[in-house]
Structure 1
Amino acid sequence: MNIGYAIKQARISRHMTQAELAAGIVSRTSIVKIEQGHQDPSFNTVEKIVERLGLSIAELYAYDQSSRVLTYNQILNDFKNLFNSTQINDVNQLLFKIEQVPSNQTMDNIKIVLKAFIDVDVVEMADLKKQIDPVWQSLQKIDNWSEIDLFLINYMLYFFETPIAENIVKHALKCIDLKYPHLLSLKNAFLLNLSYLYLKEHNSTYAQYYISRSLTLSKQLKRFDLVYINKIRLMLIDSNSEAVEHYLQQLALLDDNDLLQGMIAEIDQLSYLDGNEAK
């Protein structure tokens, strides 16, 4: 969907100025950039804009001449491919698409989890846990998780205490090994995320174990970006700043600035290089 074009057409049809549409939501300059396709609005911003326009998101799509009918399966496929992306805009775009299909439990669960995921840095963790709790309660009742269940759970790991997350990951990996052996990339994502949770706790023993497993799988998948991330994490545990810098330079050569900046932020957050002792 060309979201900027749709917003512009809807605004014009209501004889509304850009300043009137922007008031209390974003700056007029932001509206100009959004309409010109130079700025991607967040899902929350679009919700406020369509409310100001007196529309639903589904109705907004009607103003986009290039929009197409989105099927349920297309959205599920987009969701399954989403974990390979480092772009938060991709998450927002998927949320827009979900609004275009009839609501059901799966779509509602995906929307709840993705909204919590993109709000993780701006909303209190306790509030986010409350948001995703209904999703987790429904998943807990299932013995054999589906593919979509597993992708949902991968996004939810950060909202659990680490020992609970580890038990969840163990069950998820067992499901993948038994039922979905083709989901090696998702298996690796679980290992990466769990190792990060242990790194945040400075629990180097468990972190190193899961990093090593992910490193082996990353090499098998020929995911050099993930190989470098795992090597950086191992060097953080060893407080080897020279090696960390070396692998950061290798990561930079892959020309994924979002991934690089995310890794730099992770290094700052983990603070192993500041002399903190690992357990």
Structure 2
Amino acid sequence: MEIINTIGETLKNIRLSLGLTQSQVCNNIMSQSNYSKVEKGEIDISFSKMVELLSRLDMSVDEFMYIKNDYKKHTHSQISKLRNLRFNDTELITKYKNKLEQKENLTTRELEIVTIYDALILIGEKNAFKAAKEKIKPIWERLEKHDNWYLYDIQIINNIIYLFPVDTAVSIGQLAVNQLEKYKELRGVNNLSISIQMNLLLLLIENGRYEAALDEVDRLIPSCISKNLTMHLAVCYVRKGLLMELLSQTGSEEWYDNGYKLLEIMQNDKLKKELQKEVSQYKKEKHQQ
């Protein structure tokens, strides 16, 4: 049975475990009498006051929500799963979708995530880009009305960017990366920025924009190195080798070898096979032209 404590109960449990009085926690933030009512669930608390209280307890909002949810991942962990999904990993996407659909009374955001899972499955299993685009149309109509995107919105964009014409996708992707700047102090945001650029790289390759893709991968490689994103770096090495070969440039084998060796060190045989299949597919298409 899932146990979800109230905010007040969780605050009280944390306070008592730290050996603090109510006055020590709420001093100069709110009155002790009002704080007592918060712990009892008699009154609500504003977000700004909540952040101040958590700062006093030396605790992040994420950690608090994790404790509140009985030391289980909170709902937003479903959103974080969108970060590293690949549309060809339909087995994992289906697993996430089925697990989420087991919940009762899905929120609006969770319903959007289910829709995105459906769209990614359509692409991965049937290559049905047109049907997938129709699926996510209401989500994009919501997003394009706003100039300011939140982190959740940007994670969504990262997963639907394949469904736009390449020039539109590049513009949207660049805008999303720029908007991530305001979140740069948050953990994991750098990975999301790289993920968006990796998706744009693949989109450029799929549309035959090999020179633009090579420029993109040359920008990505130093970023992956500086951020210690070894798996992303391995993918970049392999795709750089592919692009050099597609452009009839010499030296592609060295980049292939570097990428595959990194994946062997990480024992990521699955991704290595996926990339080998990807390389073989693009080379075959090139020879058929």
TM-score by length of 2: 0.64
Q: Quick check: 1:201 aligned with 2:207?
A: yes
Question: Residue type of the partner of 1:161?
Answer: P
Instruction: Report which structure shows greater RCO (CA 8 Å, sep ≥6).
Output: 1
- Deviation string 1:125-181 (CA, Å, 9 cap, x unpaired) is 211111111111111112211111111110101111111100110110111013445
How many Å separate the matches in 1 of 2:145 and 2:71? 28
- Deviation string 1:69-104 (CA, Å, 9 cap, x unpaired) is 999972322331443366644423322332204223
- The change in CA–CA distance for 1:109 and 1:76 in structure 2 (over 3 A counts) is same
Which residue is equivalent to 1:119? Answer: 122
The CA RMSD over aligned residues, in Å, is: 2.9
How many Å separate the matches in 2 of 1:156 and 1:130? 11
- The change in CA–CA distance for 1:82 and 1:71 in structure 2 (over 3 A counts) is farther
2:98 to 96, 99, 111: 96
Which residue is equivalent to 1:83? Answer: 83
Which residue is equivalent to 1:211? Answer: 217
Q: Quick check: 1:146 aligned with 2:150?
A: yes
How many Å separate the matches in 1 of 2:124 and 2:98? 21
Question: Residue type of the partner of 1:162?
Answer: V
Question: Residue type of the partner of 2:225?
Answer: K
How many Å separate the matches in 2 of 1:224 and 1:177? 22
How many Å separate the matches in 1 of 2:174 and 2:121? 25
Q: Quick check: 1:231 aligned with 2:237?
A: yes
How many Å separate the matches in 2 of 1:71 and 1:133? 36
Which residue is equivalent to 2:275? Answer: 263
Q: Secondary structure, in 3 states, of the residue corresponding to 2:74? A: helix
How many Å separate the matches in 1 of 2:83 and 2:177? 16
Aligned length: 210
Aligned-residue offset at 1:223 = 1.6
- Structure ID, larger Rg: 2
2:174 to 170, 174, 188: 170
Aligned identity (percent) is 18
Aligned-residue offset at 1:227 = 1.0
CA contact (8 A) 2:122 2:131 kept: no
How many Å separate the matches in 2 of 1:265 and 1:206? 22
Q: Secondary structure, in 3 states, of the residue corresponding to 2:218? A: helix
User: Can you give the 5+ residue segments of structure 1 that lack an aligned partner in the other structure?
Assistant: 1-68
Question: Residue type of the partner of 2:179?
Answer: C
